[in-house]
């Protein structure tokens, strides 16, 4: 969100982007420098000259680079992942970070299918030995993929393309994805299952999920032990989704029939525990490496950056919603409120976002609600999908079969403006509402119960029965763990009935303490929320 730039605008392309990207900038009157392979100190010494920085994955704009970018307004990543960009530092400095979330989906999906074939028939090893003068025909008895079961972990944009290709091979596809609804699974032609069932049934498992706290080592030693003997593992998504040491052990024992990885926990992977393991295939993060994909993402990021620098239009930003410059001042506080309410709703929904309703009351109902809804959905999805942004969030929810309903009411009984988010979980609705109070986003209602609470970095959310002894017992558990209470807010339906406590604390609550609070007789539900 910025005003149009009327002065000389300069962009640095610091990675090997398709040449057409520079032409897009030049044709729109933006000066371009193309400098690839800069060392960090070299980049820091010149970044202050530029309004925009275009990168792929080799250039790493960290907090030091961003701090040196005195004119820097936007960083464009030609591709999906932004692991190489310090988004937090960019946000703090007011630098927009954009990516191109859908430009290389087909290419990455095709690479996963290619790796699956290569692993099933051990093509790289057979090729190497044949070229060396051997004729090792008897050593390579592969498997047919026809009629085999493919286990898809992650059924988003790339995963759904892989499913479509696998179904064309007459494979059966089972999918695990917390956001995949039964209706969307039917549309894709896959069977929605829980993770343990997928592990037990799949002949081939392929990963298509971002790396988050929830997905790190999703193929752990424990989960690998639950798979079929001879299972084939494919990872063209993110390093760290599979425990590399456990995969090595599985390959050596023969429990894993073959594995093919395009990504690794540490890259460039000049050395890795998996290298040299039997029946292991590696490629150097080639998932998005086709001419078509590289052209798509390069052209897309150049157009997005030029639009932002010249007109203030925002597209595919990870740290701000799409919005015009004229709308920005009115929308800014409500964007912050919507995103925080979304984070609250997403964390208490426990992964189930089949139905989402967002209600706008009062003056906010008259504003451009699209960026507000996008911000709310991004907040909901981000705890599980780290790469989701405020532009792609609605599409991400839709592609997982989640439904979204918006409603407006021009009157608001208490506040000038109010936003309420409702999420359906196991046939029950969980709701949270907020307003701008004193210029700050505040929670003003939970489960229909009125209360006012500021957002804190750590908040203990408790649903309890309104009975004596609860507050003292809960506070005692926090005190014993040396967790300091910053704020304390209560709401209830009636005396002795259903109640809510929102406790702001200064640090995370230890698991042991959380279990002790859960065990209190008055407590029905408790969770630590992080903002």
256-261 and 149-153: which strand pairing?
unpaired
Residue 111 bears catalytic tag: no
Do 259 and 127 lie in a common domain? Answer: yes
Q: Are 172 and 148 in contact (CB under 8 A)?
A: yes
Is 50 exceeded by the pLDDT of residue 391? Answer: yes
Do 84 and 139 lie in a common domain? Answer: no
Do 268 and 157 lie in a common domain? Answer: yes
Instruction: Determine how many CB atoms are found less than 10 A away from the CB of residue 291.
Output: 9
Instruction: Determine how many CB atoms are found less than 10 A away from the CB of residue 361.
Output: 22
| Stretch among 205-209, 258-262, 410-414 having the lowest mean pLDDT | 410-414
Do 308 and 355 lie in a common domain? Answer: no
Confidence (pLDDT) at 2? 45
- Choose the catalytic residue: 56, 77, 208, 238: 238
Question: What does the pLDDT look like over 513-522, one tens digit per residue?
Answer: 999 999 999 9
The dihedral over CA atoms of 65, 71, 74, 76, expressed in degrees to the nearest 10, equals -50
Instruction: Determine how many CB atoms are found less than 10 A away from the CB of residue 448.
Output: 13
Mean pLDDT to the nearest integer, 391-399 = 76
Strand partners, 505: 458, 485
Mean pLDDT to the nearest integer, 407-418 = 93
User: Could you tell me the sign of the dihedral formed by the alpha carbons of 387, 393, 398, 403, in that order?
Assistant: positive
Is 80 exceeded by the pLDDT of residue 201? Answer: yes
Is 70 exceeded by the pLDDT of residue 9? Answer: yes
The confidence band for 504, taking pLDDT boundaries of 50, 70 and 90, is very high
Ramachandran assignment for 271, one of left (phi > 0), alpha (psi -120 to 50 degrees), beta (any other): beta
Is 90 exceeded by the pLDDT of residue 408? Answer: yes
Question: What does the pLDDT look like over 27-73, one tens digit per residue?
Answer: 999 999 999 999 999 999 999 999 999 999 899 999 999 999 999 99
Confidence (pLDDT) at 351? 64
Which stretch of DSSP H or E encloses residue 394?
helix 393-399
pLDDT over 70 for what percent of the chain? 96
Domain boundary residue among 260, 282, 304? 282
Question: What does the pLDDT look like over 70-127, one tens digit per residue?
Answer: 999 999 999 888 889 999 888 878 899 999 988 889 999 999 999 999 999 999 999 9
Q: Are 350 and 425 in contact (CB under 8 A)?
A: yes
Q: Which range of residues forms the domain containing residue 44?
A: 1-102+291-312
Among 8, 400, 335, residue whose Cα is nearest residue 185: 400
Q: d(Cα 528, Cα 510) in Å, to the nearest integer?
A: 10
- Choose the catalytic residue: 285, 400, 420, 430: 285
Q: d(Cα 474, Cα 468) in Å, to the nearest integer?
A: 12
Q: d(Cα 84, Cα 82) in Å, to the nearest integer?
A: 5
Q: d(Cα 330, Cα 118) in Å, to the nearest integer?
A: 55
CA triple 509-514-518, angle to 5 deg:
155
Among 215, 220, 228, 278, residue whose Cα is nearest residue 248: 278
- Choose the catalytic residue: 42, 222, 267, 480: 267
CATH number of the CATH domain containing 398: 3.30.1330.90
Q: d(Cα 83, Cα 269) in Å, to the nearest integer?
A: 16
Torsions phi, psi of 282, nearest 5?
-130, 145
What is the pTM (predicted TM-score) of this model? 0.68
Do 212 and 145 lie in a common domain? Answer: yes
Do 260 and 296 lie in a common domain? Answer: no
Confidence (pLDDT) at 61? 97
Confidence (pLDDT) at 325? 59
Q: d(Cα 531, Cα 525) in Å, to the nearest integer?
A: 19
Mean pLDDT to the nearest integer, 364-369 = 92
Confidence (pLDDT) at 399? 78
How far is the first Cα of the chain from the last one, in angstroms, to the nearest whole number?
A: 22
Domain boundary residue among 455, 489, 515? 455
Strand positions, DSSP E, 300-457? 355-362, 403-409, 417-425, 428-437, 440-446, 449-454
Confidence (pLDDT) at 353? 79
Mean pLDDT to the nearest integer, 274-298 = 94
User: Looking up tokens 């500021």, which residue turns up?
Assistant: 454
Confidence (pLDDT) at 324? 64
Do 501 and 408 lie in a common domain? Answer: no
Is 70 exceeded by the pLDDT of residue 287? Answer: yes
Mean pLDDT to the nearest integer, 132-147 = 96
More confident site: 109 or 315? 109
Do 412 and 496 lie in a common domain? Answer: no
Question: What does the pLDDT look like over 317-345, one tens digit per residue?
Answer: 888 776 665 676 788 899 999 999 999 99
DSSP label at residue 148: P
DSSP string computed for 21-53: HHHHHHHTT-EEEE--S--HHHHHHHGGG-SEE
Do 517 and 376 lie in a common domain? Answer: no
CATH number of the CATH domain containing 264: 3.40.50.720
DSSP string computed for 80-124: S--TTS-HHHHHHHT-EEE--TTTTHHHHHHHHHHHHHHHHHTHH
Do 81 and 6 lie in a common domain? Answer: yes
**CA–CA distance from 268 to each of 41, 58, 279, 504 (Å)?**
20, 10, 21, 41
| Stretch among 25-29, 109-113, 292-296, 351-355 having the lowest mean pLDDT | 351-355
Do 137 and 252 lie in a common domain? Answer: yes
The confidence band for 425, taking pLDDT boundaries of 50, 70 and 90, is confident
Do 93 and 127 lie in a common domain? Answer: no
Q: Is 152 exposed, middle or buried, given 0-12, 13-18 or 19+ CB atoms closer than 10 A?
A: buried
DSSP string computed for 207-272: E-----TTTTTSB-HHHHTTSPTTEEEEE-S-TTSB-HHHHHHHHHHTSEEEEEES--SSSS-SS-
Q: d(Cα 58, Cα 13) in Å, to the nearest integer?
A: 12
Residue 267 bears catalytic tag: yes
Confidence (pLDDT) at 7? 65
Ramachandran assignment for 346, one of left (phi > 0), alpha (psi -120 to 50 degrees), beta (any other): alpha
More confident site: 94 or 500? 500
CATH number of the CATH domain containing 503: 3.30.70.260
Torsions phi, psi of 393, nearest 5?
-55, -45
Domain boundary residue among 424, 455, 486? 455
Q: d(Cα 79, Cα 77) in Å, to the nearest integer?
A: 6
Mean pLDDT to the nearest integer, 129-150 = 96
| Stretch among 77-81, 148-152, 155-159, 186-190 having the lowest mean pLDDT | 77-81
Indicate the number of domains in the chain. Answer: 4
Please give the mean pLDDT across all residues of the chain: 92
Torsions phi, psi of 172, nearest 5?
-95, 135
Ramachandran assignment for 433, one of left (phi > 0), alpha (psi -120 to 50 degrees), beta (any other): beta
């Amino acid at each position: 969100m910025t005003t149009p730039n009327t002065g000389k605008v300069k962009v640095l392309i610091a990675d090997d982007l398709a040449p057409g990207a520079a032409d897009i900038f030049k044709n729109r009157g933006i000066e371009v420098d193309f400098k690839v392979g800069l060392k960090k100190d070299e980049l820091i010494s010149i970044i202050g000259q530029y309004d925009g920085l275009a990168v792929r994955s080799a250039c790493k704009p960290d907090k030091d680079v961003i701090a040196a970018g005195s004119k820097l307004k936007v960083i464009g990543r030609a591709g999906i992942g932004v692991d190489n960009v310090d988004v937090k530092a960019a946000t703090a400095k007011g630098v927009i970070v954009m990516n191109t979330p859908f430009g290389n989906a087909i290419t990455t999906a095709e690479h996963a299918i290619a790796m699956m074939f290569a692993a099933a028939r051990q093509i790289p090893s057979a090729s190497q030995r044949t070229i060396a003068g051997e004729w090792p025909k008897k050593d390579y008895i592969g498997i047919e993929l026809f009629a085999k079961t493919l286990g898809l972990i992650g059924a988003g944009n790339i995963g759904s393309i892989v499913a479509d290709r696998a179904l064309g091979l007459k494979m059966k596809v089972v999918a695990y994805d917390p956001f995949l609804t039964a209706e969307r699974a039917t549309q894709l032609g896959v069977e929605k299952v829980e993770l343990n069932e997928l592990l037990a049934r799949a002949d081939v498992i392929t990963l298509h999920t971002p790396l988050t706290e929830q997905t790190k080592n999703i193929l752990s030693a424990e989960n690998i032990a639950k798979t079929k003997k001879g299972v084939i593992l494919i990872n063209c998504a993110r390093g760290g989704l599979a425990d590399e040491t456990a995969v090595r052990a599985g390959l050596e024992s023969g429990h894993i029939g073959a594995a093919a990885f395009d990504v690794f926990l540490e890259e460039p992977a000049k050395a890795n525990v998996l290298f040299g393991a039997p029946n292991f295939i590696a490629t150097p993060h080639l998932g998005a490496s086709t001419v078509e994909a590289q052209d798509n993402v390069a052209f897309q990021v150049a157009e997005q950056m030029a639009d932002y620098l010249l007109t203030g239009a925002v597209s595919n930003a990870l740290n701000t919603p799409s919005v015009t410059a004229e709308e920005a001042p009115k929308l800014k506080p409500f964007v912050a409120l919507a995103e925080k309410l979304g984070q609250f709703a997403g964390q208490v929904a426990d992964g189930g976002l089949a139905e989402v309703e967002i209600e706008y009351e009062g003056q906010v109902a008259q504003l451009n609600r699209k960026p507000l809804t996008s911000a709310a959905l991004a907040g909901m999805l981000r705890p599980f999908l780290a790469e989701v942004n405020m532009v792609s969030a609605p599409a991400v929810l839709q592609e997982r079969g989640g439904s979204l309903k918006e409603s407006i009411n021009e009157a608001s009984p208490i506040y000038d403006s109010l936003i309420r988010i409702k999420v359906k979980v196991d046939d029950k609705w969980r709701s949270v509402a907020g307003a701008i109070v004193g210029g700050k986003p505040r929670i003003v209602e939970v489960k229909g119960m009125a209360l006012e609470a500021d957002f804190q970095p750590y908040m203990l959310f408790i649903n309890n029965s309104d009975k004596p002894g609860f507050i003292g017992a809960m506070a005692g558990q926090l005190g014993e763990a040396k967790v300091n209470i910053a704020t304390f807010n209560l709401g209830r339906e009636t005396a002795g009935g259903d109640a809510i406590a929102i406790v702001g604390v200064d640090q995370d609550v230890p698991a042991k303490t959380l279990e002790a609070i859960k065990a209190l007789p008055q407590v029905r539900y408790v969770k630590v929320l992080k903002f």
